[in-house]
Amino acid sequence: MASAVYGDRTVRRIIEDYFKNIFSSSGPRNWGSAINCIEKVVTLQMNLELIQPVLLKKVKKAAFEMGSLKAPGPNGFQGTFY
């Protein structure tokens, strides 16, 4: 049977212990076997392309190829504004 608990520190400790217990694992942390089962989606070639420096001319080209009345950017303005 549960009993009443008083005091901020005691209540805090009980809550912290509870959540540490339910969100912690006592098992081994060897992720290798689990990760090896996951199919790789990004190939080495794709990764090499992704880490290339961004060229201003490519950004300009993409911006000018985009339709001027397409979806607005994060600031709410469409391409035609710029």
The pLDDT of residue 38: 86
pLDDT tens-digit map of 10-65: 999 999 999 998 888 777 677 787 788 888 899 999 999 999 999 999 988 887 88
Label residue 62 exposed, middle or buried (CB < 10 Å: 0-12, 13-18, 19+). exposed
What is the rounded distance in angstroms from the CA atom of residue 78 to the CA atom of residue 82?
Answer: 8
Answer whether 0.95 is exceeded by the pTM: no
Contact 33, 42 (CB under 8 A): no
Residue 16 corresponds to which tokens in the numbers above?
Answer: 């912290």
Sequence ranges of the domains in the chain: 53-82
Residue 50, C-beta contacts closer than 8 angstroms, at least 6 positions apart? 42
In the chain, the amino acid numbered 61 is K
